[in-house]
Amino acid sequence: TVGVAVWGPDDLEPLLINPFEKFPMQSVFKLHLAMLVLHQVDQGKLDLNQTVIVNRAKVLQNTWAPIMKAYQGDEFSVPVQQLLQYSVSHSDNVACDLLFELVGGPAALHDYIQSMGIKETAVVANEAQMHADDQVQYQNWTSMKGAAEILKKFEQKTQLSETSQALLWKWMVETTTGPERLKGLLPAGTVVAHKTGTSGIKAGKTAATNDLGIILLPDGRPLLVAVFVKDSAESSRTNEAIIAQVAQTAYQFELK
C-alpha cells in the first residue's frame, strides 16, 4: 500500500492518496520528537548544552546508532544538541531513545502531537520497544493527513522559536538517510528538508519505507510531500523509486 500527501504552496489543503490507511511511521517520528525537545528548550525546561550520560552497556544494542561509533569509552556524556543532530540527520536509534527519556517517553510525545491539533498520528513506543517486537511498529502510526499536518506545522514556523526552527531545518536538510527517496529524481542541488523511516524485512515483507519533507521550489516556495510504502514485497530499490517518482511528479507539476 502506498500513501501519499502532497501540499503545494498554493493549496488550501493537501492532496491525499489512501487517506484512511494507517501507516507505521518508523523513524519519521524522530521529526515529531525533535520538535517536542526543541519546544521544551524554548520553554526553558531543557538546555541544548546540558549533557546526558550514556552508558554503553545500558543502551539499545545491535541497532543503527552511529553516535556509538563517534564516542569512545564505556561511559560518555553527550550534549542534547548532539543527540538531536544524530537523531534527526542520521536517524540514530540510541540518540532517539535518550531524547525520549528527557521529555517523558512516548506518551509525552503523543500528547504533544495531539496538542498541535494533529489527531491522526499516534506514538506509543520508543525504538527499544519497536526492536523487541516486530508488531509494535504498527502502533506508531500516522495517516497521510497526519503526515501532511506535521510538515505544515513545521513549515509555518508557528511551533518553535526562530533559533530552534533554524536548527531543525538545518538538520533535516543534512539528512544522510534515504538519498534515493524524495531527493532521488529531483534536480541536483534541490533543497529538501526531510525525515525518513525504514523497517526491517520480515518474511519477505518490508513494513515501512517512508520519507516526508519540504522541497524548496526554484522560487523558494515550499512543496510538502510525504510518501509511505507499507508492507511491500518489493525490493528496497523499488520501494524507494516509488517515493522518488511521486516527489518528481509533484515537483514538475508545481513548475507548470
> Other CB atoms closer than 10 Å to residue 54's CB: what's the count?
20
* Closest by Cα among 249, 168, 181, 169 to 212: 181
**Contact by Cβ (8 Å): 78, 52:** yes
In angstroms, the Cα distances linking 155 to 122, 176, 225, 228 are 21, 20, 12, 20
Q: CA-CA distance, 108 to 86, in Å (whole number)?
A: 21
* Closest by Cα among 31, 78, 6 to 175: 31
* The three cell numbers locating residue 23: 501507516
Q: CA-CA distance, 197 to 224, in Å (whole number)?
A: 17
Residues with a known catalytic role = 27
Q: CA-CA distance, 30 to 27, in Å (whole number)?
A: 5
Q: Write b or e for each residue in 79-112: b if 16 or more Cβ atoms lie within 10 A of its Cβ, otherwise e.
A: ebbbbbbbbbbbbbbbbbbbbbebbebbebbbeb
* Largest pairwise CA distance in the chain: 56
Q: Outline where 44-92 has alpha helix (H).
A: 67-70, 80-89
